[in-house]
Chain A
Amino acid sequence: MSELSLRSTAFVTFYSFKGGVGRSMALINVAGILAGRGVRVLVMDMDLEAPGISFLEGVQPEHPGFVDIVLDAVERGGQADLFSRSPGELVELYSYRYELPESIVEDEGGLLRIMPAGRFGDGRYQSRLDRLGLGRRYREGSGKPLVTAIKTVIREARSFDLVLIDSRTGFSDESGVCTRDLGDHLVVVMGLNRQNVEGTANFFRALRASGTCPHDVRVVVSPVPQGEDDLVDEREAVASRRLSEAWGEPIEPSVRVPYHPRLALTDEPHIFRSDRGGLYDAYRRCERMVLEMLGSG
């Protein structure tokens, strides 16, 4: 591990109020850069209703993930993997290694593993998700302890320096779980149009009302169109004002991720094929931002 020196695994949630802003892409690129630089990273796809990370090229659709861990625990109790396997075994079983191209590996000590939302290969993911009913587990009282147990086991595995969580959007059950219960730090990715700004402001208001206090909150603006500098500045100022009002503390966007047409055409992490350009630089800034959040920047 080259730059990150933490006493225990840090959990960082990437959240966006609206979809399509490039949240998952920002996350996987940051994960790839950090892993290439010697950080041991686990990516959890917690966008359970619309998983994206779980469908990256090279993923293993048969591999079990978050939904499978929790459902197994719900249905088998003490016999379940969560309670009967060692933390290392559990993490190994429910995540898989995502290979990095040699071109981005600067430090062999790094690692990138992905915990998919769940197993898709048998066509029964939705049925399992329905059976799991995460929201209902919370209402019954076992949901939060289950999520806490999973977080505890991942920490105890000591296999990772950093866990990046790809959250569900909006005010969904999963977004609450990711931003309040799983993540210690929060990266909010947002566009600059009115829907994004007002929705994200409402999210901050709800987060504040819930009493949740992440160690650090950063905002990434994405995607930012080229050639509209004045309008971008104007909208960013509006966003800063609205978010700060909602959160009760000043919030300024940390990074601008430029719009790039390739983002709409390919799932491959941008850093896998390019080490220059505006988009690459933006993801590098996101990486530095995450390290700063963890006190290692």
Chain B
Amino acid sequence: MTDVDPSTLASGPASGPALGHLEALTKDDLRRWLGRALRGQEPLPRLTIDEAPDITVARHESDLGSLVRKDLRTASMELMIRFIDEAGRATEDDDYVRALLGVVQRLGVDDAVVSLGMLAQGERFDAIRVEQQAAVLGALLDLRAPLDRSFWHRVAGRGRHLALAFTGLLRLGMDGVDVLPQISGDEIVADSLYVVLSQHARHLRPEDRNRLVGRVREVSGRCVAAIGAMLDEWLAEQEGRAPGVSAPTNEGLDEALEAFFAERHQPYERKPESAKLLPDVVAA
């Protein structure tokens, strides 16, 4: 993406719509303008120097007339179809693809879901850059594309985009949890997964949330350090205790100990005491 001219930053209230000049463009010219804008080649009234062009366009789109807004959606879809048609043949800039997918979502171009879904499930998907694959899968998740378990399992089976596959599968059930031990991510990935898990758990019924907690606990020990540590924190939060503080003794442990000693004809007495030798530190 080209550098942004600071003089194009929004500086205050303007007399008309910031993108008012689009009203005068033909459909073809509008598509060409949008393509250049998403590549950072058109001056845009950005709020910050690093604001992504799709955000700027979407923010000012509502100020435009209905016809040009409809034409912007059509232009977005056409650019998307071109990207899909040329997938694997022409190399697109990653930032452009991310901006294109962003503008499609922000402008609510629902038809893009079908086309993107077909791209993701087709053979040419493997031919596009890994970063762009991730952007497409992310867009499908954001657009709530109706993709089934087998699709996300296929994604996971390729050994890439496991965090995205986890998110997709989690929406369809608990299967996503089984993907967690395969994910080799750092703290940034772990933080993203934490958000996904937390948001998902928030909408579950208590009994389903407990099942999810149980499934996560089963796999947490097999995850890489950063993700395992995140899961420990998440489990602690779900169990209502501070991270690093041990889980409360569960009834299952009591029953297991009772059965263990009963089998051996030995008494089982749960007697609170101190692990330390010093008698004056016995827990109050």
Contacts and interface: CB of A to CB of B under 8 A. Distances in A.
A180 interface: yes
A122 B224 contact: yes
Given A124-B225, A145-B261, A210-B279, A140 B249 contact: yes
A179 B276 CA distance: 10
Given A74-B250, A78-B255, A83-B259, A124 B228 contact: yes
Contacts of A203: 277
Contacts of B253: 73-74, 77, 142, 146
Contacts of A132: 246
Chain B, interface size category, equals 35 or more
Contacts of A141: 249, 270-273
B229 A124 contact: yes
B206 interface: no
B232 interface: yes
Interface stretch (A3-11, A166-174, A221-229): A166-174
Interface string B251-265: 111111101110010
A83 to B, nearest CB: 5
Given A74-B250, A122-B224, A145-B270, A127 B275 contact: no
A34 B106 CA distance: 73
A139 B283 contact: yes
B245 interface: yes
B228 A146 contact: no
A91 to B, nearest CB: 16
A212 to B, nearest CB: 8
Q: Count chain A CB atoms within 10 A of each CB in B247, B251, B277 and give the residue with the most.
A: B277
A265 interface: no
Contacts of B276: 135, 171-173, 175-176
Contacts of B224: 122
B278 to A, nearest CB: 5
B277 A130 contact: no
Contacts of A124: 225, 228-229, 232
Interface of A: 73-80, 82-83, 122-124, 127-128, 130-146, 149, 152, 171-177, 179-180, 203, 206-207, 209-210, 212
Interface of B: 217, 221, 224-225, 228-229, 232, 244-257, 259-261, 264, 268-279, 281, 283
Q: Which 10 A-B pairs have the closest CB atoms?
A: A77-B252, A133-B246, A173-B275, A123-B225, A141-B270, A139-B283, A138-B275, A206-B277, A78-B256, A130-B244
